Every structure is written in structure tokens, then in C-alpha cells.
Amino acid sequence: MKPASFDYYAPTTIDDVMALLKRHGSDARLLAGGQTLLPMMNFRLATPEVIIDLNRIPELAFIREAGRQVHIGAMTRQRALEFSAVIARDLPLLHEAIKMVGHLPTRSRGTIGGSLANADSAAEIPMILQVLEGEVLVRGPNGERTIPAAELVLDAMTTSLAEDEMLAEVRFPTMPKEASFAVEEFSRRHGDFAIAAVAAMLVMKDGLCEKARIATAGVSPFSSRLRAAEEALEGRPVDPDAIERAGEAAAAAVEPVSDRNASEEYRRHLTKVLTMRVLKRAADPSKPH
């Protein structure tokens, strides 16, 4: 299974990337970590005429604390996120979820930007972007724009990026110190894409849930926040009743896909079960972080 032939460019600046995208348009594909694109090319399911390799642009890989945010360059390796003290401290939910992304050797090359731009339905990083209400910075021929999490993904594997745009940076608000969180994934084997995954972050105040953020992966064509489930918790104590109702609301809110891995009904069922398990863990004050 060998890829078809292509012209290869390895630009060293973002401006060079923009010029190449302008010149080649839809004939070109951006190569980030390659953990998704190369397999497709080896199968010849993707046969780009031009490959623009982003791995030579140092300015695209960084992890920075910026006030009450964490800024991450699109080409930052998942492995770097896994071992980053900044991520562990400021975005502990991302720190936990990143270990579910593939395996250590794929995280050596896979990038956060690549995962977000690919927008696979069952990928964990897009789910975390939703829960943490992150945003992405996109570079285009006319400069830069920001896309909030809620507007990034339109459909399975389809983002709102234009053909001549490149995802350059991801920004997350630092998680509140008092936030509790959990993520659970159900897959056939460890490291596989999720059949269903749920991630949640809760901010409690005076025994009541002040803020709840819940999203899924693997269930629907793309990750989005489950507002109905969040509303079932906000303003209330997170007790077994509330958790049950949130689980049911989550199951009702999703539009599950049916495929060879799981039926619609089963995904809906998993959504409820995993939502309840995640919320139970997040609500448990004795849970170690």
C-alpha cells in the first residue's frame, strides 16, 4: 500500500504556507502529524498532488500561559501536551484526555491542530475543546480570525475552515482551580477511537452547580456541548437524581450514528451511562485529580 506520487514542500514560515495554498488550492493537503493523512494516502484514499509539510515551522509549536488562558500552537505534539506541566496545572481535563488519544508513539507525531482540523467524530481533542469552550486561531490569505469552539465543526470531518486557511493556534481558558472534571471513553480496545465518550467539567459554588459543561465524542457526527444535560445540573446540587436526569437529557440530546461498531440505540444508551459515570466521578469530592 504505497502512496501515489506528489510534489512535496516543506515551508519554514506561515506566509510561505499561505503562498503555497494560494498557488495550489484544492490540489494541496497540509501535512501535520501525518497519523491520519499518511494512512489515507497509503490506501490511496487520499491522492493529493501537493503536500505542504508544516513540520518545519517552529513558530507553530508552543505552549504558553497568557493571562487566564493557555495558548497552544497548532503543531504542538500531543506528546508535548501529555508531559507539559502547564497543561497538567491549567487544563487538567485535557491532560487526562490526551492519554486516551491513540498511543504514545502516535502522540510523538500527532498534533493538537491536526486533530482539530480533521474533526473526526470519535476524536477526544475536539470533545475537550467543546467542554472547555476553547477557540482556534485561523490564518488565511487576508490575515487571522478566531473561531469559537461552537462554530468550528459543521459536520463529521468538516470544519468551517476555508480551503485557503490554516489552523494556527488553539486557545483555552484556564480551568478554574475549583473545577472538577472527568472523562470516560468506551471503545472496543484501548487506544481505539471512541464508540462513545463523555467529558464534563463542573464548577460548584455553595453546594450548587454554578457551571456545567458536557460534551461527547463518538456518538454524534461531531462533538458539541449537550446544553440540555448542562441545564439539568446548573443551579442544583449534583445529587444522584440530578445525575440521572442529566444522563437522560444527554441521551435525548444526542443524534447518534449507527455503524458497524454500534447501533443508534446502543450509542444513546452509552451516552446516558457514561454521562452518569462521568458526573458521579466529577461530583465526588474525594476523587483524586
Q: Which residues bind another protein (CB under 8 A)?
A: 1-10, 31, 34-35, 38-39, 41-44, 50-51, 53, 55, 79, 83, 103-106, 108-109, 186, 188-192, 260, 262-263, 266, 269-270, 273
Alpha-carbon distance 136 to 145, whole Å?
A: 8
SS3 state at 18:
helix
Nearer to another protein, 179 or 282 (CB): 282
* Closest distance of CB 113 from another protein, Å: 16
Closer by beta carbon to another protein, 1 or else 66: 1
Minimum distance from residue 160 beta carbon to another protein (Å): 27
Q: Pick between residue 68 and residue 188 the one whose CB is nearest to another protein.
A: 188
Q: By C-beta, is 23 or 287 nearer to another protein? A: 23
- State the minimum distance, in angstroms, from the CB of residue 72 to another protein: 19
Give the nearer residue to another protein in terms of CB position, either 181 or 186.
Answer: 186
Cβ contacts of 11 within 8 Å, gap of 6 or more: 17, 19, 20, 52, 53, 54, 56, 57
The answer to whether 225 and 214 are in contact (CB under 8 A) is yes
What residue has cell string 487566564?
Answer: 68
The residue among 158 and 263 lying less far from another protein, judged by its C-beta, is 263
Cβ–Cβ under 8 Å, residues 183 and 202:
no
**Measured from the CB of residue 98, what is the shortest distance to another protein in angstroms?**
13
CA distances from 269 to 1, 197, 249, 264, 273 (A): 38, 12, 12, 9, 6
Minimal distance, residue 205 CB to another protein, in Å: 31
Give one DSSP letter per residue of 48-99, joined into a string.
-SEEEE-TT-GGG--EEEETTEEEEETT-BHHHHHT-HHHHHH-HHHHHHHT
The least CB distance from residue 267 to another protein, in Å, is 9
